[in-house]
Amino acid sequence: MTGLPYAEVIGDPIAHSKSPLIHKFWLDKLGIEADYRLFHVKPDELADYISARRDDPDWQGCNVTIPHKLAVMDHVSDPGGVRDTIGAMNTIARDESGELFGTNTDAGGFFAPIADVPLKGQDVIVIGAGGAAQAVLFALSRIDVASVTMVNRNALKASALLARFGLKGQALEHGAALPPARLLVNASALGMKGQDELVIDLGTLPDDAIVYDLVYAPIKTELLKAAKARGLETIDGLSMLIGQAAVAFEIFFGQSPPVEHDEELRKLLLK
Ligand code: NAP
């Protein structure tokens, strides 16, 4: 116990996480006396970790990263039905009665930078069918898009996700010609440092299309560079990273993060 309210991020490995930098930046800007830290939890330590924190009154909750996003669902309640939708939790906190519950802030974080874009009735392309893609599809299923074309090396997995989220659309393999779309999202690992590049022809996108890359290492991906070269609007992965942290911050500390400092935060994250 620290005597000071705190939240943390757990995972294995965990040293690379940017969450402490983001949450501490906001705590500092808002003058909240609390801490946010990294905590290394190996897979066989998860149950003990949860039961220890359950009894710690200073602990406000935690963010959960690889490899615990699925396993943690066995230890906490699921009031939002995350297990049957996004299928993974990335945030644990206490409810008003003190019980631990889990949620997933990735869908909200993904949606934050496009909240003002009128996507209802529009066509969308999503590349990838992993955990991040599920959060994206969850958000898209809530805003009544017309169709989602998914592109994944395993097209069958992508088709199954479309059905699960009740979305109309199609699943294609990489290399297939893309239809026009108002929004194209890269939710795959392609383009990430150490991974293959995403090879894609943006030629079918209309001039008002938005290209949104969830990859944030590097921040200026080849996809975003190609979209910019075509004069398209782009959104980078830091926007979602900050957006998902913002939803968690409110849950942990009860205040909205000060968005007026986002540019300063982005610079810090890019250092
Ligand atoms: P994941 O669950 O492991 O899914 C990775 C996806 O990428 C899968 O669909 C996989 O295809 C595809 N993929 C991986 N390697 C590939 C290759 N060589 N060729 C073709 N497809 C490949 O990972 P995730 O958690 O969804 O993360 C995906 C990306 O989103 C990562 O870059 C991650 O950093 C980013 N992300 C960003 C944020 C943010 O806040 N900005 C949040 C979450 C994730 P298969 O389905 O065929 O295996």
224 CA distance to ligand 1 middle (Å)? 16
Pocket of ligand 1 (CB under 6 A): 106, 109, 128-133, 152-154, 157, 187-190, 192, 195-196, 214-216, 237, 240-241, 244
Residues 6+ apart with CB under 8 A from 232: 202, 205, 207, 209, 210, 211
The stretches of 122-236 forming alpha helices (DSSP H) are 131-142, 155-164, 222-229
Work out which ligand 1 atom sits closest to the CA atom of 106. 42
Return the best residue to mutate from 65, 114, 153 for the ligand 1 pocket (most ligand atoms within 8 A of CB). 153
Q: Enter the pTM of the model.
A: 0.94
Residue 7 host element (H or E): strand 6-11
Q: What pLDDT score does 2 carry?
A: 57
Question: How many degrees, rounded to 5, is the angle at CA 146 between CA 142 and CA 149?
Answer: 95
- Nearest by Cα to 60 from 33, 92, 15: 92
Q: Residue with the nearest Cα to atom 8 of ligand 1? A: 130
Q: What pLDDT score does 230 carry?
A: 96
CA-to-CA distance for 44 and 12, rounded, in angstroms? 11
**What values do phi and psi take at 6, rounded to 5?**
-150, 155
- Judged by DSSP in three states, 224 sits in helix
The stretches of 74-143 forming alpha helices (DSSP H) are 106-111, 131-142
CA-to-CA distance for 19 and 91, rounded, in angstroms? 12
Q: What pLDDT score does 160 carry?
A: 97
Catalytic residue among 18, 29, 69, 120: 69
Known catalytic membership, residue 69 = yes
Residue 93 CA: distances (Å) to CA of 83, 171, 253: 16, 36, 10
Q: Residue with the nearest Cα to atom 34 of ligand 1? A: 215
Low-confidence residues in the chain, pLDDT < 70: 1-2
**What values do phi and psi take at 15, rounded to 5?**
-60, -25
Q: Exposure pattern of 170-201 as b/e (b: 16+ CB <10 Å)?
A: ebbeeeeebeebbbbbbbbebbbeeeeebebe
Residues 6+ apart with CB under 8 A from 148: 123, 124, 125, 126, 137, 140, 162, 167, 168, 169
Residues 6+ apart with CB under 8 A from 113: 212, 235, 239, 240, 243
Q: Residue with the nearest Cα to atom 37 of ligand 1? A: 214
Q: Residue with the nearest Cα to atom 1 of ligand 1? A: 130
- Nearest by Cα to 72 from 36, 102, 111: 102
| CA 197 to mean position of chain CA atoms | 21
Q: What pLDDT score does 271 carry?
A: 87
